[in-house]
Amino acid sequence: MRRIVFIFPILVFVVVGAFFAYGLTRDPSNIPSQLIDRPLPEFDLPAIQGLQDGLSTEDIKGEVALVNVFASWCVSCHIEHPVLMELTKANAVPIYGLNWKDAPGDGKAWLDRYGNPYKAVGDDQKGRVAIDLGVTGAPETFVVDRQGRVRFKVVGPITEQYWTDTLQPLIEELRRS
Amino acid sequence: MTPEIGHFALILAFALAMAQSVALFAGARGDDAGFAVFGRRSAIVVFALVAIAFASLMHAFAVSDFSVVNVYENSHSAKPFIYKLTGTWGNHEGSMLLWVLILTLFSAVLAAQGKAAPRDLHLLTLGVQALIISAFLAFILFTSNPFERLIPAPADGTGLNPLLQDPGLAIHPPFLYLGYVGFSIPFSFAVAALIRGKADTVWARLVRPWALIAWVFLTIGIALGSWWAYYELGWGGWWAWDPVENASFMPWLAGTALIHSVRVVERRDAMKGWAVLLAITAFSLSLVGTFLVRSGVLTSVHAFAVDPTRGVFILAILIAAIGGSLTVFALRANSLSATGAFSAVSREGALVVNNVLLLVACAVVFVGTFYPLFIDVLSGDKISVGAPYFNMIFAPIASITLALAAVGTLLAWKKGDLPASLKRLIPAAGAALVIAVLVLFLADRARVSGAFALALVVWLVGGAAIDIAGRVKLFRAPAGDSFTRVKGLPGAAWGAAIAHGGLALFALGAAGISLWKSETVVLMAEGSTAEVAGYEVTLKSVEPFSGPNYVAERADFVARKNGETIALSGERRFYPVRGMETTEAAIRMQWPGDLYISFGENKSGNGWPVRLFFNPFVHFLWLGAAVTALGGLIAFADRGKKPAKLRHRQPKAVAAEAAPA
């Protein structure tokens, strides 16, 4: 009987250790969006200063698209921007931009300098739409399906590898269904 | 050149520590004096080598040698010199090196002073230490080399996180590590005891000072961290149940249980299995804390940069150390038979209850800390466990533990007299009742919980005072006689009473700030006035200024209450190198509570968002922690009367001895 008691601590540790080992393979900062499989929240944003068209929910319906939250003050957006340019050049997927909390003129200056990969850009200067979308930081990207539902959310910059490994297969699957 | 010397010293230390562990285990089996001498001396040489490595890293920081990656990433030429030095351990690699430096220091001290210990116990303990040292040196060398070069060297570094550029945070990690790492020695003693199948009063007498000093350091380290969080983070709180805070608190709880149960082994030759298991648990939880901070399994404000290979490596160390020691425990704990029997109502019985409660408290913190990980693994859901869970479950358990502490210290060893002990506590109970009634009538809110909390404080202080008064026969013997007894009282008894009194003070602080804190958030322009806890606070002016490596705004406030005027000023600093902001809250430390003001950025142009707090009794948190640590230190200084060797030869006599302490 005593023996069994002495084995108990190691059994507890084996269970805890297994959780630790499995926990290492997961990323705690990767928080899933509450919007998954829900329609994109309704919004109708004005154009950013210097551009003609704004962005509303209606524009995004009809085909699989990306909605990308960006800002000129965002360092990681510098890393992501060339990838978005490549995607647009290759006609891979329509990308819509949400210019988040930028001072008037800064968004346009950014696009003039680095190129404009977006079909349309909405100006979310006050960050109201970003709150509806549950944006925690820039850049963030939402994958929207033909019915206008959010199907996936990317936190942080999209890299070339992330595109080929994750986003491209996902978009092709959404187009087929 | 110096970084290479440090790197080379570290490699040598690694090789030597591995050879040393083999020699020590071999030496413990036979009588070969050569192995034993080599093993003991190596402990000192390994320490010297790691000290050289640490000094060379510190040198690289001192002279801002940006050809070292670690210095480039964590330092900057414009940083004040003192923070260049303390920046040595303000990053993952450097802090691991400090960790190992302390580990080897303890081993060296143990190697040098081990004459009192039985030969095989001493060699086995040092051998286990050498294994731990080897594992962590391998971790540093293979995954976290602090001496890596960056050629060509950049012109300047990227700076130290400004939150860490603070005296509190410069000394908080070393104390914390002294505590964490200090528990490695009881751990090694426990494994050694299991290997040789014997834990006795001699063993306990050797373990107790190490457990106590580690516990004292950990107490101070945690208190410093909490103090820093209070004045630097500007949120008005002192403890957030963040995973990394919990990681330091769990070994503290297990260590607290250990210092109590090891006393039972020392005095009564009983509860050995418990003590050994607690010694293993305390250090295991230190290792789990290290894993938690450096592997990225949980999100925390304290986490270091995440690197998966590090997590895997530390997990391997964890499995080897904890899994190994617990396996030995499962196989060998049966051989640790107790000789001292005791009745349920006795000091030993009370300490068993204390141990159970502390372990339950520890389990509560453990479950709350790792629950998000368990849920993520089982179902993929992301959740977080907040302070309400911990407060709701932990506070009652802690209160019961503290309430029983007053009774336990009055019970005699072996067989206590509960009615007589309770009778002695009547004055404490009376005082507690009076304060409870006072709170019920006078407090403006939180009456019932406040009455309970303050009654507990008075009860605990009263219990400690009655304990000491009884031991010196105060009022029952002539004053001169009592005075002689005061001088003759063992340090362990003084230590226990003082530490318990310190915990009472701490509980007073915790109750004050959590039950009676006042808080207001307002938008203030220059000249406008707000009110908190009867104070009329005016924002006099906000002026920009620049410090050595930051630019800042200083806000001057004037607070008025009952004709008294208090001037306070707080700062909001911006560190351009890291692009980070920090706050220096405006704090007026005073009786009966702190006036605490932090302010934000004037974004709208209409004024500054200002948070005003009145935190009653908050100083008692840190005063209590300091007194508690002092109690531990006094108990540490008490080594008992008989030399250890004498006791070792007369185990029978020890077992029969049952005089109250």
A-chain CB neighbours of B280 within 8 Å are: 9
**Which among A2, A5, A7, A10 is the top mutation candidate for probing chain B, defined by the most B β-carbons within 10 Å of its own β-carbon?**
A10
Pair of tokens at residue B43: 């402990």
Cα dihedral across residues A72, A75, A78, A81: positive or negative: negative
pLDDT (0 to 100) of residue B644 = 42
Q: Does B651 score more than 60 pLDDT?
A: no
pLDDT (0 to 100) of residue A2 = 65
| Mean pLDDT of all residues in B108-112 | 95
A-chain CB neighbours of B334 within 8 Å are: 2-3, 6
Which stretches of chain A drop beneath a pLDDT of 70? 1-2, 26-33
A-chain CB neighbours of B284 within 8 Å are: 13
pLDDT tier, B300 (very low <50, low <70, confident <90, very high otherwise): low
| Mean pLDDT of all residues in B304-320 | 80
> CB pairs below 8 Å between A and B: how many?
68
pLDDT (0 to 100) of residue B282 = 97
pLDDT (0 to 100) of residue B159 = 75
Q: Does B655 score more than 50 pLDDT?
A: no
Q: Does B579 score more than 80 pLDDT?
A: no
B-chain CB neighbours of A30 within 8 Å are: 382
What is the C-alpha to C-alpha distance for residues A14 and B366, in angstroms, rounded to an integer?
15
How far CA A35 is from CA of A39, A41, A131, A142, A144, in Å, comes to 7, 9, 12, 10, 11
- Top-confidence range, B180-189, B192-201, B554-563, B650-659: B180-189
What is the C-alpha to C-alpha distance for residues B46 and B156, in angstroms, rounded to an integer?
34
Backbone dihedral angles phi then psi of residue B547, each to the nearest 5 degrees: -100, -170
pLDDT tier, B652 (very low <50, low <70, confident <90, very high otherwise): very low
Helix B324-332 / helix B184-196 crossing angle, nearest 10 deg: 40
The amino acid present at B551, given as its one-letter code, is V
| Mean pLDDT of all residues in B440-469 | 91
Query: HSE on the CB side for B497, CA within 13 Å?
Result: 20
- Please tell me which residue of chain B has the smallest CA distance to A15: B374
B323 in contact with chain A, both atoms CB, cutoff 8 A: yes
To the question of domain A32-176 being in CATH 3.40.30.10, the answer is yes
How far CA B110 is from CA of A96, B125, B279, B402, B649, in Å, comes to 66, 9, 17, 34, 22
Task: Kindly write down the DSSP assignment for every residue of A19-35, as one continuous string.
Answer: HHHHHTTS-TT-PPPTT
- Please report where in the chains the tokens 């050994």 appear, as a residue: B276
| Mean pLDDT of all residues in B368-381 | 84
| Mean pLDDT of all residues in B334-344 | 80
pLDDT tier, B207 (very low <50, low <70, confident <90, very high otherwise): very high
Minimum distance, in Å, between the CA of residue B297 and any CA atom of chain A: 6
Q: What is the mean pLDDT of chain B?
A: 88
Partner residue facing B374 (CB), from A6, A19, A27: A19
Residues of A with CB under 8 A from a CB of B: 2-3, 6-7, 9-10, 13-14, 16-17, 19-24, 26-32
pLDDT (0 to 100) of residue B656 = 37
Q: Does B380 score more than 80 pLDDT?
A: no
Contacts of B430 (CB under 8 A, 6+ apart): none
Partner residue facing B334 (CB), from A2, A23, A32: A2
Q: Which residues pair with B560 in a beta bridge?
A: B536, B565
Higher pLDDT, B645 or B640: B640
Minimum distance, in Å, between the CA of residue A16 and any CA atom of chain B: 9
What is the C-alpha to C-alpha distance for residues A123 and A34, in angstroms, rounded to an integer?
23
**Which among B294, B297, B365, B382 is the top mutation candidate for probing chain A, defined by the most A β-carbons within 10 Å of its own β-carbon?**
B297
Of the listed ranges B485-489, B552-556, B562-566, B569-573, the least confidently predicted one is B485-489
Give the burial class of B420: count Cβ atoms within 10 A of its Cβ; 0-12 exposed, 13-18 middle, 19 or more buried: exposed
Cβ contact B315–A21 (<8 Å): yes
B312 in contact with chain A, both atoms CB, cutoff 8 A: yes
Minimum distance, in Å, between the CA of residue B191 and any CA atom of chain A: 14
The torsion of the CA quartet B430, B436, B437, B443, rounded to 10 degrees, works out to: 160
SS3 of B126-155: HHHHHHHHHHHHHHHHHHCCCCCECCCCCC
pLDDT (0 to 100) of residue B283 = 97
B-chain CB neighbours of A9 within 8 Å are: 277, 280-281, 326, 329-330
Question: Which domains does chain B show, CATH number per domain?
Answer: 1-160 (no CATH), 518-619 (2.60.98)
Domain ranges of chain A: 32-176
Cβ contact B297–A14 (<8 Å): no
Cα dihedral across residues B271, B369, B225, B86: positive or negative: positive
Contacts of B256 (CB under 8 A, 6+ apart): B215, B358
A-chain CB neighbours of B377 within 8 Å are: 19, 22-23, 26
pLDDT tens per residue across span A78-113: 888 999 999 999 988 999 999 988 888 888 888 988
pLDDT (0 to 100) of residue B242 = 85
CA-nearest of B509, B431, B414, B437 to B465 is: B431
pLDDT (0 to 100) of residue A27 = 63
Cβ contact B333–A6 (<8 Å): yes
User: Angle A139-A142-A147 (CA atoms, 0-180°, nearest 5)?
Assistant: 160
- Please tell me which residue of chain A has the smallest CA distance to B298: A28
| Mean pLDDT of all residues in B182-210 | 94
Of the listed ranges B97-111, B341-355, B536-550, B566-580, the least confidently predicted one is B566-580
| Cβ pair B582, B163 in contact under 8 A | yes
Minimum distance, in Å, between the CA of residue B365 and any CA atom of chain A: 14
| Cβ pair A58, A30 in contact under 8 A | no
Partner residue facing A17 (CB), from B318, B372, B373: B318
Complex ipTM, two decimals? Answer: 0.85
| Mean pLDDT of all residues in B334-345 | 80
- pLDDT over 90, % of chain B: 54
